[in-house]
Amino acid sequence: MVTGKFIIQDYLGIHMKPASSIAETALLFKCKVTLSHNGRSVNGKSMLSVLSLGAKKGFEIEVRCEGADEKEALQAILEIAERENQTSKKTSI
């Protein structure tokens, strides 16, 4: 299992476009992808689940990947989160 975090910088928070991009990227990998905030965890491969976190500007989101391609998945998801949502990222592998 590997984990990383990103902080939402976009004043709109995680909306439809970044949620879709994160989920689509997660679907490219075999490993389990979970996003968490404030004690709530959701399936990172589901756009609606990602949206349901209700992540607003300043929220820190943890990404947890478990499985065969976990490191590659984490890297790709943090990169897409940074690009799509203008975030700052932290990685802990």
- Token pair recorded at residue 32: 């389990």
Given the residues 1, 15, 71, 90, the one annotated as active site:
15
What does residue 28 show for φ and ψ, rounded to 5 degrees?
A: -75, -10
Residue 15: what residue type? H
- Tell me whether residue 15 is one of the annotated catalytic residues: yes
Question: Do residues 24 and 50 make contact, with C-beta atoms less than 8 angstroms apart?
Answer: no
Question: Do residues 49 and 42 make contact, with C-beta atoms less than 8 angstroms apart?
Answer: yes
Cβ burial, residue 87 (10 Å; 0-12/13-18/19+) = buried
Point out the residues that are catalytic.
Answer: 15
